[in-house]
Chains A and B, each alone.
Chain A
Amino acid sequence: MRISVFSNIASYIRSVFRGAWSIAESCTTAFPYILRWGELRKEITEGYPDPVSSKTADDLPPRSRGLLFNDIDRCTGCKECEKICPAQCIRVEEEPGANNSKIWVSVYDVDFSRCIFCGLCVEVCQPASLVHTRQYEGAAYHLTDLIASFGRGQITAEQRASWAALRQMSESDEVTL
C-alpha cells in the first residue's frame, strides 16, 4: 500500500512537535524546583558537616548502631562477643582478678577499621556492658587510631602474685567458714 506524501509529512511534523512538547513538559515539571514552589519540593540535601546539619546524634533513631562502647566495670570477659564477631574485630584478654567473683579484663580492643556494625556482639553480651553509642563520626588519620581500647591494662607480675595470694586467702576463708 502506498502511503501518500501528505500523510508522511503530517506524521513527520507530528513527531517533531511531539518531541518538542515532551521536552518542554519535562522542563516545566522540573522548573518549580528552582523556586522551591510547593511543600513537596522544599526538601533538599542536608548540608554536612556544616552548616550544622539538622540531624545530630540525638536525632538518630533509638536503634542506630554507632561506634561500640564497653563499660568495663560490668564486663565479665566471657568472650562471647569475640566468638560471634563476623569480622573478628574484637580482641579480649582476661585474667583472674583480686577475688574469685571478679575477672580482670586486661585487654578489650575493638578495631573499628574492621567492624561492620552488625550489632551481633551487643546482642550476645550477657551483662549488657557492650553497647552501641550514637556516635557515628569515627574518621581518623592513622589506622591505629581506629582501635578503641576499653581494657583495664596489663597487670604486673607482682600484682599477679599478690592477687593470687588474695584469692588463696579468700578461698581458705571460705573453707574455714
Chain B
Amino acid sequence: MTIISSEPVRADLTLWEIGPYHSSLPAPMRLKLRLDGEIIAQCEVETGYLHRGLEKACELHPWRAAIAYMDHLDPEVAIFGELVLCLAVEEIGEIIVPPRAQRIRIILAELSRISAHLVFMVRMAKAVGSETIVHYLLRDRERILDLFELVAGARFSLNFLRFGGVSADITDGFIERVLDVCDLIRIRIKEYNDIFTFNYGFLKRSSFVGKIDPILVKSSGMTGPNARASGISFDVRKDMPYIGYDQFDFEIPLGRGEGGIVGDAHDRFLLRLREITQSMELLKQVSDHVPIGEFQNEKIDKEYIVPPGEAYARIESSRGLLGCHVVSDGSPCPSRIQLRTPSVANLLAIPQFVSGIRIEDLPVVLASLDLGIAEADR
C-alpha cells in the first residue's frame, strides 16, 4: 500500500528515502521524503513489509486455531485481537458469556492497554533520545507481563480467550496482584512525570509538533487516543459498550493542549498517560465485582461448530477502533475473517500533516502516532 499526498510532486526538492529499517521509524515501513532544507515538504508512505497473510491464514485453520492467529495481529497487545474475534463469533452463535469471564476479559484488556501505552512511552522516549526513562518503563511493563504469564502461561501470545469465555479460571490471588501492580504503577507515574513528561527538553521537542486537525481526524478515519488527543470524543467502550464496560463508571480523557496546542505530539503523550490512570481506576472497580461462577459457557466444547452466519464486532484497542467481520458457513474453518485496524487510518494521515516539520521531529511525530505496523499490514 502506498499513500501519497494529493499535491503534485515537486522535483526541485531533495529526495530522501527512509526504510524499511531505520531508527526513526517505529516499524518496518518506507518513507519517501521531499526535503526543503531540513523541512519536510512532501511525504509518501509505503507499507506492506510485515504482511503475513493473517486473514487468509485464519481461513485455512480450524476456528480455535484462528484465535492463536489473532494473537499475532498485533503481538504487543495480543488480547485485543482475540477479543474482537471472540465477540464476533459469539454474536454469530448467540453464545452467552458468563459474567465472570466478562470481568476477566475486562481485566486482561485493561492490563494490555496499560502495557501498550507504556510501550508507546518507550518509543516516544527513544525518539527524543532520553534513555533512562526507557528502562524504567520497560521494567514496569514487565510486572504486567508477569501477570499475563501467571494467568495464561505466556507473556505475549496469550491465546487465552475462547468462544464463550476464557480457557482457564484466574488463579487465587490474581486480582490482588493486579491491584498491587496498579498501585506500583501509580507511584511510578509520579516518577515518570518528574523525569520525563514535564521535562523542559521533552516539552521543547514534542509540543507544537505534529498537530493533527480534527478535520483530518475525521477525513482519515482516525480513532482511539490520537483522535481523542485532537479533541474528538469517541471511545467504543463508552459509545458502543461491549463485555460489560457500561456497568462501570469511567471517563474518557480528551486532549487539552497543556504542553502546547490541542492535538500535538505532547498532547498525545499526555493523553495516553491519562488513559493509563483511567485504566487503573477501571481495574480497581472491576476487581470488586468479579462474581463467582463458571468461566466458560459449558455448551461450547471442543466439538463446537460455529453456525452459518456473519457478524461484525468492534472494540477499542489501545490504538483505536478495531473491527472484525466474520463469515461462517458452518464448516470447521472460518469462511472469511476481515479486520479493520486502527493503525491504517493513522498511516493514511501521515502525508497530510507531516509537511512543514523538521526531519528531527519526524521520529517524535511517528512515535506519537503509536503505529502498529503488524496490524496495519496484517
Q: Do chains A and B touch in the complex (CB under 8 A)?
A: yes
Known A-B contacts A63-B168, A65-B153, A84-B65; the reply to A120 vs B196 at CB < 8 A is no
Residue A117 contacts which of B57, B72, B154 (CB distance < 8 angstroms)?
B154
State the 5 A-B residue pairs at the shortest beta-carbon distance, nearest first: A63-B153, A22-B200, A118-B68, A86-B65, A29-B194
Interface: A73 (CB within 8 A): no
Task: Report how far A23 CA is from B198 CA in the complex, Å.
Answer: 10
Interface string of B163-174 (1 = CB under 8 A from A): 000011001000
B187 at the interface (CB under 8 A from A): yes
A-side interface size class = 20 to 34
In angstroms, Cα B371 to Cα A81, docked, is: 36
Tell yes or no: A9 within 8 A of B by CB.
Answer: no
Contacts A43-B139, A118-B68 given: A30-B132 contact, CB under 8 Å?
A: yes
The answer on a CB contact under 8 Å between A61 and B196 is: no
A45 CB to closest chain B CB (Å) equals 8
Does A146 sit at the interface, judged by CB under 8 A? no
Question: In the complex, what distance in Å separates the CA atom of A40 from the CA atom of B57?
Answer: 45
Interface of A with B (CB < 8 Å)?
A: 18-19, 22-23, 25-26, 29-30, 40, 43, 45, 60-65, 83-86, 116-120, 123-124, 132
Decide if A118 touches B159 in the complex (CB within 8 Å): yes
**How many contacts between A and B, using CB within 8 angstroms?**
76
Collect the chain B residues with CB atoms within 8 Å of residue A64's CB: 149, 153-154
Minimum CB–CB distance from A103 to chain B (whole Å) comes to: 20
Q: How far is the CB of B3 from chain A (nearest CB, A)?
A: 31
A-B contact pairs, 15 of them (CB 8 A): A19-B200, A19-B201, A22-B201, A23-B199, A23-B201, A25-B194, A60-B149, A61-B153, A63-B149, A63-B171, A84-B65, A86-B68, A86-B69, A117-B154, A132-B153
Least Cβ–Cβ distance between B82 and chain A, in angstroms? 11
The listed residue (A26, A63, A120) touching B194 by CB distance below 8 A is A26
CB contacts (< 8 Å) of B199 on chain A: these are: 22-23, 26
Across the interface, B150 reaches (CB within 8 A) one of A43, A45, A63, namely: A63
Chain A neighbourhood of B168, CB < 8 A = 63
Bound Cα distance A25, B171 (Å):
42
